[in-house]
Amino acid sequence: MRLFLLATLTMIAFAANSVLTRLALALAGHGPGMGQGPDIGPAEFAVLRLASGAVMLGVLVHLRRAPLGLAAPGRIAGVLSLAVYVLGFSFAYLTLPAGLGALILFGMVQITMFAGAALGRETMPPRRWAGAALAFAGLVWLLWPTGVGAPPAAGALMMAAAGAGWGIYSLKGRGARDPQAATAANFLLATPIAFVALPFVPGPLHVSAEGAVLAILSGAVTSGLGYALWYAVLPRLAASSAAVAQLTVPLIAMAGGALFLAEPLTHRFAVSAALVIAGVLISLSRPRARARRA
C-alpha cells in the first residue's frame, strides 16, 4: 500500500508538471490553437525548469550532507536522456496538439521501458502484457485526434525523442544508490545542455514574471521533487510495471486541465479512464498463490 501511494503521488506530480508546461507554453501563443498568456519560449522554459530543479534538489542533498556524485558511473546517460526529454517535450508543443503529443510521449515511454525490460531479460507474465495493451488502448481512445491527419513530422519526432529520453532515464534510475543525489546531479549537469538550445530559438529571448514562476514551479516542485520521488520508487518496481503505471499520467493531467484550464470532461474521458485504470490494475496484480508465498 505504501508503494502504491508513493507511486500515485509521483504520477500526480508528473501530471501537474504537464499542466504547468501547457499553461506556460500553449497559453503563451506558442502552442496550437491557444490564446495569449504568460510570455515564455520553449527553450527558456526548459532552462528555468532544469535550473530550478537542480537548486531545489541540491538544497535537499546538502541538508543530508550527502555527495552529489557528479562523476558516478552511468551519469552521462542519465544527464543526456533527461536533457533530451525536457527539450524535446518543450519544443514539440510548438506544432503538436496537446492530446496527440501526450499520446506520442507516453506511447514511446512504454515502448522504451518494455524494450529495456526485454533486453534485461526481465520476466513479463502474460497478464502484464495484457494490462499494458488494455491501458494503452484506453489512451488511444482518449487522445487520438478524430478527423485530424498525420501530425507534423518535426513535432512528432521531437516528442518521440522526449519519450525515449524519459524511458531511458527511468530505466537508468532504477539502479541509483542515492536517488535524490543522482537526480540533483542529473538536473545540474543537464542545465548547460539546455542553454545550448537558446541560440537556435528565432526572435529575441524574453521571459515574463508569470512565465518564470510557472517554469520554476515546474522545475523545483513537480519536476525536481517529483523525479526524486520517482527515483526512490523505481528500484521497487519492475521496468514493465513502471511503464504501465506512467500511462495514468495523461488521465490525471486531463483532470487537472479540466480543473485549472477549463478543459471539458467528456464521456470519452470516462471510458478511457476506466480502461487505463483496469489495465494498470491487471498489469500490477499478482496471482493469489504467488501473493500468499510472498
Cell numbers found for residue 148 = 485530424
Do 263 and 33 contact (CB within 8 A), yes or no? no
pLDDT of residue 34: 46
Please give the residue range of the domain that contains residue 150.
2-293
Amino acid at residue number 26: A
Instruction: Give the mean pLDDT of 248-270.
Output: 76
For 135-161, what is the mean pLDDT?
74
What is the tens place of the pLDDT at every residue in 85-129?
999 988 887 777 666 677 778 778 877 877 787 777 777 778 877
Question: Which residue in the block uniquely carries the three cell numbers 513502471?
Answer: 242
What local confidence, expressed as pLDDT, does residue 217 receive? 94
Q: What's residue 50's pLDDT? A: 95
Query: What is the pLDDT, as a whole number, of residue 57?
Result: 93
pTM: 0.78
pLDDT digits (tens, 9 = 90+) for 261-293: 676 677 777 787 788 778 777 876 666 545 455
Give tens-digit pLDDT for 160-174: 899 999 888 888 776
Number of domains in the chain: 1
Q: Does 61 have pLDDT greater than 80?
A: yes
